Amino acid sequence: MSATHTPRSPRAVSRPNRQAAAHRLALLESMLRVRRFEERCVELYSAARIRGFMHLYIGEEAVAVGVNQMLTADDAVVSTYREHGHALARGIPAESIMAEMFGKVTGCSRGRGGSMHLFDADRRFYGGNAIVGGGLPLAAGLALADRMSGRDRVTCCFFGDGAFAEGEFHETANLAALWGLPLLLVCENNLYAMGTALARHQAQTDLALRAAGYGMVSWAVDGMDVCAVEDAARKAAEGVRAGSGPHFLEMRTYRFRAHSMYDADRYRDKDEIEHWRERDPVEGLARRLRETKELTDRARAAMEARLAAEIDRAVEAADGAPEEPVEDLLKYVTSPDVSRP
């Protein structure tokens, strides 16, 4: 399905391609997994079972799911502090992520990172980074290592529109284009850098246009349409693998929740939020699949039941998992030798 696909009426779709239909249903289930996981995290945070900072991905699910369809197991992903959706779409088990949220030793970062520092080296998921734009130079380093070693890999780096105000973005974009790095830059433009609207911190709000100024292939994508995201990510990843250097995708999306659980969200008009909710990526795809008779109420209910059971198991496992022993707290910690003059 391309970015310009318009679903036909139910009468016109008699025998949809089974493989394509199964793929679209899988996209829906992946987005629902992220949505339901996040909603459960809200409940657990409100009950003080998850602590610290937590940034929700609700509303942006199409980006993580669509982009990850085009990445292989050998590719690398570098993320932001709003990374639960990226981690789930990458294939990190919900149990591992939930245990990390609970601060348990069975978490993907052994309980040491929490919500903002998910990490899984086996799946080449290199964070979770609490610094705005902080993952960009790390991604450039991974891509440079692959290019110098002759490995056929793509490094995908997710970041928000707020990163455009950081030097890390401009330095990374310049060097990536200069050196022709196999880097896929995915900007999740949700219109707000924390509580600051895009037009209040950027004179040019067409971020794809700005990225193109560094000599990268760049274009904007409807980030509320998972099929459009997948199609754009396919073209970009193919370009990177073909040796065309870094590619930049501006995913125009929206977060339905506040910046973080501590955010009062007083900087956005409620009508604006409701307007974007009408373009919900999860329900939008579900509606299209119902129109083409690829999704029935029974199939949707079964999907919801599977995901509820999966998340229930994750919470139960996190509840029963051990905390790290106090005597191990300095393990993996590097500190200067204070005994030396």
Q: Taking Cα atoms as reference points, which of 62, 99, 107, 76 lies closest to residue 230?
A: 62
Q: Is 248 helix (H, G, I), strand (E, B) or coil?
A: strand
* Distance (Å, whole) CA 241 – CA 70: 11
What confidence score (pLDDT) does residue 19 get? 87
The reply to whether the predicted model has a pTM over 0.85 is yes
Interval 275-301 mean pLDDT: 97
What confidence score (pLDDT) does residue 2 get? 34
pLDDT band for position 339 (cuts 50, 70, 90):
low
| Domains of the chain: total | 1
Q: 340 in a domain, yes or no? A: no
In this predicted structure, the answer to whether residue 290 has a pLDDT above a threshold of 80 is yes
Q: Taking Cα atoms as reference points, which of 185, 242, 243, 175 lies closest to residue 214?
A: 175
Q: 103 in a domain, yes or no? A: yes
Domain CATH code at residue 149 = 3.40.50.970
Q: 341 in a domain, yes or no? A: no
Interval 48-69 mean pLDDT: 96
Q: Which domain holds residue 229?
A: 18-30+56-319
Q: How many CB atoms neighbour CB 336 within 10 A? A: 6
In this predicted structure, the answer to whether residue 337 has a pLDDT above a threshold of 80 is no
pLDDT band for position 6 (cuts 50, 70, 90):
very low
- Report the range of poorest mean pLDDT among 86-90, 300-304, 323-327: 323-327
Model pLDDT for residues 197-222, shown as the tens digit of each residue = 999 999 999 999 999 999 999 999 99
Q: 7 in a domain, yes or no? A: no
What confidence score (pLDDT) does residue 12 get? 35
- HSE-up of 91 (CA within 13 Å, CB side)? 15
Amino acid at 313: R
Are 136 and 157 spatial neighbours (Cβ–Cβ below 8 Å)? yes
What confidence score (pLDDT) does residue 45 get? 95
Structure tokens that stand for 124 in this block? 């080449």
pLDDT band for position 5 (cuts 50, 70, 90):
very low
* Distance (Å, whole) CA 293 – CA 17: 12
Amino acid at 165: A
* Distance (Å, whole) CA 123 – CA 83: 14
In this predicted structure, the answer to whether residue 329 has a pLDDT above a threshold of 90 is no
In this predicted structure, the answer to whether residue 4 has a pLDDT above a threshold of 50 is no
In this predicted structure, the answer to whether residue 340 has a pLDDT above a threshold of 80 is no
What confidence score (pLDDT) does residue 338 get? 52
pLDDT band for position 331 (cuts 50, 70, 90):
confident
What confidence score (pLDDT) does residue 13 get? 36
Interval 174-196 mean pLDDT: 97
pLDDT band for position 33 (cuts 50, 70, 90):
very high
Are 94 and 306 spatial neighbours (Cβ–Cβ below 8 Å)? no
What confidence score (pLDDT) does residue 117 get? 96
Q: 72 in a domain, yes or no? A: yes
- Over the chain, what is the mean pLDDT? 92
* Whole-number percent of the chain with pLDDT over 70: 94
What confidence score (pLDDT) does residue 7 get? 33
* Distance (Å, whole) CA 9 – CA 291: 6
Model pLDDT for residues 93-152, shown as the tens digit of each residue = 999 999 999 999 999 999 999 999 999 999 999 989 999 999 999 999 999 999 999 999
Residue tagged 């008779």 (tokens): 293
Q: 295 in a domain, yes or no? A: yes
